[in-house]
Amino acid sequence: MKRVVILGVSGSIGMQTVDVIEQHRDQFTIVAYSVGHNIERLHELLKRWPIKEVAVAKENDAIDLALRYPDVNFYFGNEGLCHLATLAQADIVVNALVGFRGLKPTLAAIKANKHLALANKESLVAGGELVKEALRASKGILYPIDSEHSAIFQCLQGNQTSEVERLIITASGGSFRDRTREQLKNVSVEEALAHPNWKMGGRITIDSATMMNKGFEVIEAHYLFDLPYEKIDTIIHPQSIVHSFVEYRDHAVMAQLGTADMRIPIQYALTYPHRETMKQDNRLDLAALKELTFREMDFKRFPLLALAYEVGKRKGNMGAVLNGADEEAVRLFLNHEITFLEIEAAVKKAVDEVPYIASPTLAQLEQSDALARAIVRAYKKGANV
């Protein structure tokens, strides 16, 4: 019986992780989870899956909940997340947090020698070098949950990374994949959130539309599979059936196909190296597919993807800057404070203005993140930091 901690259980990935575990109660049990600000979801979860260890965002919520649930231990803030990530009774930590705050629990879980199933892309985008260093110095193991990286991981089974010619990460193209840049000038938040293939959270849906999300995935792939950026390509695939390809040096190309269901990569990360039965009816019906199409990535159409390649190659604190600026810019867009195209301009401004640090500490990454956010907020006001 493997004991699981789920960080960010109230989000889409977190709840789908609960679904997977409930399908395999003979193999997994949940021992702790965090819910952030979603206290209503916590009440539902404690009825559905009672546990003894919970982390929330605010101290006041932790105090109030402790009175209501005297048999549960409540923690709060970043310290609470790191506490859950290092619980002695946990075998697997699922990091389904959104944003830069996921980095500290990732590092804590690895240093505590945990099996880490990672959906928090910011851990590698902002702190990839620190994560790799922690993995080298511990017995911690990291498995990807992102569908694209899970696909690559599966296509690599039985082969050597040295035999890989290139990775090809597929992109749906997002909500505006068929619009020109001229047509993007006055798009609404509601239009941007209408992803044609996936049901995701607000930030990742907007990042899909700007292709920033794909840029993050390129940086993640670099750290996960130890390949240079010159060997990591992206391609538009509107149907989101092929989740990624691996091309080998003999020109053989391996692909992983599946429905738009995140429970597939979640389950593989939890059960690896075994494949367990997926009890829900989400099979891919190849005969029903009308077509699978692909088209070349247009970096002029999606400048944030090009910027992500540049940032990834520079390394240092630039990943933290890119992520922090994007988080803040997307927040402003979702709040109707900047336009869709201004997301790009604000992020580029932060990347240009935050001082470069070649080998940053965690504290310096936090400072870079904060400065990037401040520059984006100042951009909205037409001011300088």
**pLDDT tens string 154-172:** 999 999 999 999 999 999 9
In this structure, what token pair is assigned to residue 186?
């006055």
Query: Is 73 labeled as ligand-binding?
Result: no
- Tell which phi-psi region holds residue 211, choosing left (phi > 0), alpha (psi between -120 and 50) or beta: left
Mean pLDDT of the 277-305 span? 91
Provide mean pLDDT across the span 114-138. 97
Report yes or no: 35 and 9 within 8 Å, Cβ to Cβ.
Answer: yes
Tell me if 382 is assigned to a ligand binding site. no
Predicted local confidence at residue 380, as pLDDT = 82
Provide the pLDDT for residue 198: 64
146 is in an annotated binding site: yes
Per CATH, the architecture of 316-385 is what? Orthogonal Bundle (1.10)
**The two structure tokens encoding residue 237:** 């695939």
Kindly report the CA angle at 361 between 357 and 367, in degrees rounded to 5? 70
100, 237, 353 from 369: Cα distances, Å? 8, 32, 12
Among 14-23, 277-286, 322-331, the least confident range: 277-286
Is 11 flagged in the annotation as binding?
A: yes
217 is annotated as contributing to ligand binding? yes
* Domain parsing of the chain, residue ranges: 2-144, 157-260+283-301, 316-385
State yes or no: 120 annotated in a binding site: yes
Does 195 count as an annotated binding residue?
Answer: yes
Are both 2-144 and 316-385 of the same fold?
no
pLDDT at residue 225 greater than cutoff 70: yes
Q: Is 22 annotated as a binding residue?
A: no
Rounded to 10 deg, the angle between the 318-334 and 362-381 helix axes is: 40
Q: What CATH superfamily classification does 2-144 receive?
A: NAD(P)-binding Rossmann-like Domain (3.40.50.720)
C-alpha span between 328 and 347 (Å, rounded): 9
324 has binding-site annotation: no
Any known ligand binding at 121?
A: yes
Q: Is 13 annotated among the ligand-binding residues? A: yes
